Amino acid sequence: MSKIILIASLLVSSLFAEIHWMKYDDAIEKAKKENKIVMVMLSREDCPTCEYMDDIVFEDDNVVNEFNKDFLGVHLDIHNDFIPEGLTYIGTPTFHFLNKSERRLDRIDGGANARDFRDKLKEVKANN
């Protein structure tokens, strides 16, 4: 009986898995405590690729599960939010991966499909 309850709770929790976006300073502080990598997504309104990442890629269970294991997310609008020094961009979306000391580990310019983005998350984690 307890196995059934455990399996059911895991299934239900995976149905509601999502990336929890945080403020930059909160993410850095939490990364220091939990030894996680901070991913900063730089985006803007009216960016079709940004919308694709938000609506498709970041809703994919495999991406969300991989992300939530080792990463913390920060979502910043280049026109409306303060962009920390060193987080440059040519276009949007741009993804910066930072360690707990705010040192940049990697960068992605542009979007990706769910499988490729999940693979990139694994690569960033493996290399750091």
Q: Establish if 119 belongs to a structural domain.
A: yes
Residue 121 lies in a domain: yes
Average pLDDT for 50-64: 98
Give the range of the structural domain holding residue 50, as residue numbers without chain letter.
18-126
pLDDT at 16: 57
Does any domain span residue 68?
yes
Give the count of domains, the chain.
1
Name the percent of the chain lying above pLDDT 70: 88
Is residue 4 a part of any domain in this protein?
no
For the entire predicted model, the pTM comes to 0.86
| Banded model confidence at residue 17, pLDDT cuts 50, 70, 90 | confident
Residue-wise pLDDT tens digits, 20-47: 999 999 999 999 999 999 999 999 999 9
Does 8 reside within a domain? no
- Amino acid at the residue 24: Y
Output b/e per residue, 92-112; b: 16+ Cβ within 10 A. Answer: bbbbbbbbbebeeebebeebb
Nearest to 100 by CA among 52, 30, 53: 30
- Is 13 among the domain residues? no
The CATH number of whichever domain residue 74 belongs to comes to: 3.40.30.10
Round to whole Å and give the CA distance between 17 and 1: 24
